[in-house]
Amino acid sequence: MDIQLLRSQIEKIDTLPTIPSILKKLLGVIENPKISLNEIGTFISNDPVLTSRVLKVVNSPIYGFPGRISSVNQALILLGLNVVKGMLLGVSVFEAMQKTMVGLWEHSLGCAVAARIIAKKKDLKEPEEVSVAALLHDIGKVVLGLKFSEEYKKIISDAETKSVFIFDAEKNFFSINHADAGAWIAQKWNFPRSLIEVIEYHHKPHLSKNVTMHTAIVHISDILIRAKGFGFAGDNFVPVINNTAWQMLNLSESDIKDILDEMEDSLSQAEDFLLSDD
């Protein structure tokens, strides 16, 4: 398929009947670059299910505020508009992620947990922004899975039977992979340039120009979570860590031990979060 035609079809995903109703409503909100905190707060508060999911996620191990956030407005003030917009998208594609690939939501949550821990270890000012980028890094798999459901099932099957990485199987079929598709849809939805860049280059962090540290953290978090076997990202293999990203993080043996120890505790809590009822 022609690349421009493919991009055009992917960017129209919000017209699909399979898109959850809450995601359709949300897209109308996040596509507006002038949306305010008050308007976001009103949007969330008018939907009890979304309010419940938002409070559950902000109090989960992903963000490191367990049990401390009791209102939507408090979440908005603490996390900021961009993080909340990303989180809203994350909770809204929850069901779509589960339908696209069993274990993808768990993988994404695990990656978000690991990214927050590493971002704090590197003293980044806003670790929540890195965490939400990690939560959404595979959004392209959801987009491709929804838009081309039968073809994507074949891609998942091909990756398994031919023992290739899923991004290679995607490339063989579409001439693009989920990182490209994710970046396209993130642009369409007016996400910040930093978030788009992490999604686009999470498999090629050496190509990131403006958010090199964020992209390196999400890249390594993705691989650590795959190696831990937490969730499923579509591959039966663990990719090699990109050398540029590894050198950029410059983690000592002590740092790595601290990160793995904290990951162990947080992922255990994340499993409880995943198993609990809404």
pLDDT digit string (tens) for 59-117?
877 777 767 788 888 888 888 877 887 888 887 776 777 777 888 988 998 999 999 99
Q: Does 29 fall in a domain?
A: no
> What is residue 253's predicted lDDT score, i.e. its pLDDT?
92
Answer yes or no: is pLDDT of 15 > 90: no
Tens of pLDDT, residue by residue over 144-181, are 998 999 999 999 999 999 999 999 999 999 999 999 99
> What is residue 211's predicted lDDT score, i.e. its pLDDT?
96
Tens of pLDDT, residue by residue over 165-174, are 999 999 999 9
Q: How many domains does the chain have?
A: 1
> What is residue 276's predicted lDDT score, i.e. its pLDDT?
61
Q: What is the pTM of this model?
A: 0.87
Tens of pLDDT, residue by residue over 245-272, are 999 999 999 999 999 999 888 888 777 6
> What is residue 165's predicted lDDT score, i.e. its pLDDT?
94
Q: For every residue of the chain, which 3-state class applies, written as one string?
A: CCHHHHHHHHHCHHHCCCCCHHHHHHHHHHCCCCCCHHHHHHHHHCCHHHHHHHHHHHCCCCCCCCCCCCCHHHHHHHHCHHHHHHHHHHHHCHHHHHHHCCCHHHHHHHHHHHHHHHHHHCCCCCHHHHHHHHHHCCHHHHHHHHHCHHHHHHHHHHHHHCCCCHHHHHHHHHCCCHHHHHHHHHHHCCCCHHHHHHHHHCCCHHHCCCCHHHHHHHHHHHHHHHHHCCCCCCCCCCCCCCHHHHHHHCCCHHHHHHHHHHHHHHHHHHHHHHHCCC
Q: Does 157 fall in a domain?
A: yes
> What is residue 277's predicted lDDT score, i.e. its pLDDT?
55
Tens of pLDDT, residue by residue over 198-223, are 999 999 999 999 999 999 999 999 99
Distant-in-sequence, close-in-space partners of 247: CB < 8 Å, separation ≥ 6? none
Going by pLDDT thresholds of 50, 70 and 90, the confidence category of residue 273 is: low
Q: Does 181 fall in a domain?
A: yes
* CA angle centred on 127, ends 124 and 131, rounded to 5°: 140
Answer yes or no: is pLDDT of 22 > 70: yes
> What is residue 43's predicted lDDT score, i.e. its pLDDT?
85
The mean of the pLDDT values for the chain is 87
Domain encompassing residue 261: 1-15+81-274
The CATH number of residue 214's host domain is: 1.10.3210.10
